[in-house]
A = this chain, B = another copy of it.
Amino acid sequence: MLSYTEENYIKALLRLTLEKTVAGTNELAAQLGVKPATATDMLKKLREKQLIDYEKYGKISLTLEGRKKAMQVLRKHRLWETFLYEKLGFAWDEVHDIAEQLEHIQSEKLVEKLDKFLDFPKFDPHGDAIPNAEGEIKVFFTQTLSQIAVGNICRMAAVKDNSATFLQYVAQVGLSINEHIKIISKQPYDALTCIEVNGKQSNVSPKFTDNIFVVGENE
């Protein structure tokens, strides 16, 4: 079982690795309000416990196990935030500090009962997704590239079709996850869509645009 402190370290690492590319010791220490020397000590300990991959002077990343543990803390945090907001009537901005304490309560059964009591919420009061019991965030995309109007910009979120030929085609037009896409025009005659990715324009078929999940820019 992880200590309160260890949980806070892996949670901070999760946040850093989600938001930015890689996490460094100073950044981690700042996030937690401790000195870098302290963080270094804890990093060694977390490595011993196989929660992170780390070599001295190198970059830090969570192992699968570490990430799962961190996500479970995040799950508790967001469920408690939802409880405080929805059930107890706390304001939007008051819930975080209390949830920081509640997220360390150890009881799987409590978490599951709380989840049920809240009617299995998918998002917390800030709109952030709540991980499931296995520590995964399932994001269900509903909008495909074909639904975006001419002139708008969106961002690629996922693909429906995972075939090699399709993925090669996707790469060929310069697309990848999070890449921006602008809809230049749509041809009424042959139903092709002209998209622009990184300054490069391509004409693609409905078969293509129907298989790309996107999110709008105004999120």
Contacts and interface: CB of A to CB of B under 8 A. Distances in A.
B87 A110 contact: no
B89 A113 contact: yes
A142 B87 CA distance: 34
What class of interface size applies to chain A in its complex with B?
10 to 19
A90 B108 CA distance: 13
A88 B101 contact: no
Contact of A114 (B88, B97, B109): B88
Contacts of A109: 90, 94
A78 to B, nearest CB: 17
A105 B113 contact: no
Interface of A is mostly: helix
A110 B88 CA distance: 8
Contacts of A169: none
Interface string A93-128: 010011001100111011001100100000000000
Contacts of A106: 101
A113 B90 contact: yes
A121 to B, nearest CB: 15
A177 to B, nearest CB: 39
Contact of A88 (B97, B105, B117): B117
Interface of A: 84, 87-90, 94, 97-98, 101-102, 105-107, 109-110, 113-114, 117
